[in-house]
Amino acid sequence: MTVVAPKLTLERRLLGECELIISLDEVGRGALAGPVAVGAAVMDAAGARRRVPEGLRDSKLVTEKRRPDVAARAAAWVQASAVGWASAAEIDEVGIMRALGLAASRAVQSVVDQGAALETALVLLDGNHDYVSAVHPVPLRVRPVIKADRDCASVSAASVIAKVARDSHMTALHEGHPSYQWDRNKGYASTEHRDAIRMLGLSPYHRASWAITDAPTLF
């Protein structure tokens, strides 16, 4: 199957309506353990005229071995980038959708702290649901786009940056909880992960409010 590279077609059109795009994509939504992460990548008109980095794709379409290099080139390509987080405890407390909003809001605030002017920006969000506006403390212009992580290069950048950051985080957590094999499954519902939960119970990093032992095996 031929994988089509993401383009800047939508970004260039939207930059006729705004001065800045803050592209967002989430990672870790379906995991049983660890935080959810939302990557942010900032694009302006000058950046949208630059060539898309070679190999940039939605993070799910980039091999694990290649992702760190692609993420580094993506971060160097965009005007600013960040990753926002919401912990497993926050997911348990407020639910996954509001936790996604918290992580997205934190990612937006991080690029604002780096100099992105929110009042002239449009937020380009992968998916069909705006989960960030209800959480962010100031009004946002949000454009949800289905498959934006596949089709829009700036969202692909946010996706791979967030994926590498979260995978690194889960690998670090693995050192203190090796039985769950988070270095391999990154907190998702592998057979080995679920077997370890049945044997050892939950760690402080598991999403305790989820029906974890009955979750489907994802790989």
Is the residue at 40 inside a domain?
Answer: yes
pLDDT at position 210 is 80
Task: Please say if the pLDDT value at position 216 is more than 60.
Answer: no
Is the residue at 215 inside a domain?
Answer: no
CATH of residue 19: 3.30.420.10
Is the residue at 178 inside a domain?
Answer: no
Is the residue at 181 inside a domain?
Answer: no
Look at 129 and 4; give whichever has higher pLDDT.
129
Is the residue at 126 inside a domain?
Answer: yes
Taking a C-beta distance cutoff of 8 angstroms, is the pair 77, 163 a contact?
no
Single pTM value for the model: 0.93
Is the residue at 80 inside a domain?
Answer: yes
Binned at pLDDT 50, 70 and 90, residue 59 comes out as confident
Is the residue at 35 inside a domain?
Answer: yes
Instruction: Write the DSSP assignment of 29-98 as a string of letters.
Output: TT-SBS-EEEEEEEEETTGGGSPPPTT---GGGS-TTTHHHHHHHHHHHSSEEEEEEE-HHHHHHH-HHH
What's the domain range around 38? 9-169
Calculate the dihedral angle through the C-alpha atoms of 90, 96, 99, 104, rounding to the nearest 10 degrees. Answer: 150
Query: What percentage of the chain carries pLDDT values higher than 90?
Result: 88
What are the pLDDT digits (tens) for 91-117?
A: 999 999 999 999 999 999 999 999 999
Taking a C-beta distance cutoff of 8 angstroms, is the pair 61, 1 a contact?
no
Is the residue at 76 inside a domain?
Answer: yes
Q: In the chain, how many domains are there?
A: 1
Sign of the Cα pseudo-torsion (7, 49, 63, 165, in order): negative
